[in-house]
Amino acid sequence: MRKWFVLGIINLAIVALYGTLMRYKIVFDFPFLDQKNLLHAHSHFAFSAWISHALYCGLAILLMPHLSLKKQRYYHLLIALNLFCAFGMLIAFTVQGYKTVSIVFSTLSVVVSFIYAISFIRDKACLPASHAAIPWAVAALLLNVLSSLGPFSLAYMMATHSVNTSLYLGSVYYYLHFQYNGWFFFGAMALVTTCLPAGFPSLKKYFNVFALTVIPTFGLSVLWAKLPVWLYIIVVASTFAQLAAWVVLAMHLLRYFRQHGKVFIPAWIRLFFYAAALAFTLKFTLQAVSVIPSLSQLVFGFRPVVIAYLHLVLLGVYSLFIIGYLFSKGWLKPVKMTKAAAGMLLAGVLLNELLLAVQGFAAFAYMPVPYINEALLAAALVLLCSAIAMVVSLQSNPRSGS
């Protein structure tokens, strides 16, 4: 499994490369690749070959000790098929954009997610019924399946040339919501439970809150659709319930880690978890602020703000958490170069978010920020170099990755 995780770090470097290319094209002339195609390739590959890949591997590890060799190979095959689809999408989107080949690979990726979900839910019977990760993992996989309705809707509109602007935006936001707040969140929480020591208090009550509110909070993404008053009230109540649940959970975890965490997780690894938790707190706070429809339209009507928010969650929350998880579980060994590269990646994420925030706030006042695009390119280069350095360190120190 370490080799799969190392391949995930390589995929992260590819994601960073595409991000850097897009930033370069904004600052300098580079006519050979279409920016929109790069964006589609970048986002699909980040979702499937980095975050989803890491979650598939992490969830498979829960089952591996209890499975026969034949079934273990079956999960390795599913992980490989997901990556095959991911690289197919990467190439197809880069070359032709949203066309037949890319849609085929996207569809195959969804099929793999269906098969994985069915397989895991079937095989979870081999785990103790009280295993803390089970409810989080099952919810994550089901929400991943549910999110596929978004891409299917987009594919249908593209194939029939019947694109409706509101339906198109709704489908995109639907997919993003059930990926970011469904599959990614519940999948990450399943992995969180494996980082907690035996005897840690149950997270069931927190699971219940997030499971009950994950569907209603999709309404935050479509407030522009003028929801009925009763539905809007449910959306608002669900949003603040999530914020309250997260704050209580985060404080509980922080207090425990301060008292006992140093025994089983080194301080420098906890730094990644703390940064991810802080980013998630900011994410839930922004969600709560966005319940005001006029403010939501004002804020998320600016592209820099949307980009900052998406990167806050994808990089600030999930990427930093996954790296911390890999180190804490020993899948990445803390050799000097790997630790330095991971630290540089953390600094790059913070720099990138700071610059995107500056650009976003400046957009409200219609104030141009001198050399902001050049600065964002520099931040992208930091992310790229740190990801490459992690890959190099894993290859030059075999104990780190095999």
pLDDT at residue number 202: 85
Q: Residue 53 pLDDT > 70, yes or no?
A: yes
User: What is the arithmetic mean of pLDDT over 36-56?
Assistant: 95
Asked if residue 45 lies in contact with residue 18, where contact means CB atoms within 8 angstroms, the answer is: yes
Percent of the chain predicted with pLDDT > 90 = 61
Q: Which pLDDT band holds residue 395 (cuts at 50, 70, 90)?
A: confident
Asked if residue 144 lies in contact with residue 117, where contact means CB atoms within 8 angstroms, the answer is: yes
Q: Residue 362 pLDDT > 90, yes or no?
A: no
pLDDT at residue number 245: 95
pLDDT at residue number 317: 94
Distance between CA atoms of residues 326 and 303, nearest Å? 33
Summary mean pLDDT of the chain: 89
pLDDT at residue number 402: 43
**What pLDDT, in 10s, does the model give residues 225-270?**
788 999 999 999 999 999 999 999 999 888 877 776 666 778 888 8
Tokens 């996989």, residue? Answer: 141
- In three-state secondary structure terms, 227 is coil
Distance between CA atoms of residues 187 and 265, nearest Å? 21
**What pLDDT, in 10s, does the model give residues 143-195?**
999 999 888 887 777 777 777 777 888 888 899 999 999 999 999 999 999 88
Residues 314-318: contacts with CB under 8 Å, at least 24 apart: 314/46, 314/51, 314/180, 315/349, 315/352, 315/353, 315/383, 316/275, 316/276, 316/279, 316/280, 316/282, 316/283, 316/349, 316/353, 317/188, 317/276, 317/279, 317/280, 317/283, 318/51, 318/184, 318/188, 318/276
Encoding tokens for residue 393? Answer: 């360190």
Query: 108, 126, 21, 137: which is closest to 63 by C-alpha?
Result: 126
Looking at 279-399, which runs of residues are DSSP E strands? Answer: none
Distance between CA atoms of residues 277 and 313, nearest Å? 10
218 DSSP 8-state letter: G
Percent of the chain predicted with pLDDT > 70 = 95
Q: Residue 224 pLDDT > 80, yes or no?
A: no
The answer for 266, left when phi > 0, alpha when psi is -120 to 50, beta otherwise, is: beta
Query: 192, 169, 164, 59: which is closest to 121 by C-alpha?
Result: 59
Asked if residue 97 lies in contact with residue 37, where contact means CB atoms within 8 angstroms, the answer is: yes
Instruction: Work out the angle at residue 39's Cα, subtended by the Cα atoms of residues 153 and 278, and round it to the nearest 5 degrees.
Output: 95
- Which pTM value belongs to this model? 0.93
User: What is the arithmetic mean of pLDDT over 338-367?
Assistant: 88
Q: Which pLDDT band holds residue 211 (cuts at 50, 70, 90)?
A: very high
Q: Residue 398 pLDDT > 70, yes or no?
A: no
Q: Which pLDDT band holds residue 216 (cuts at 50, 70, 90)?
A: very high
Range in 209-218, 229-238, 319-328, 364-373 the model is least confident about: 364-373
**What pLDDT, in 10s, does the model give residues 98-152?**
888 988 999 999 999 999 999 999 999 998 888 899 999 999 999 999 999 888 8
pLDDT at residue number 225: 77
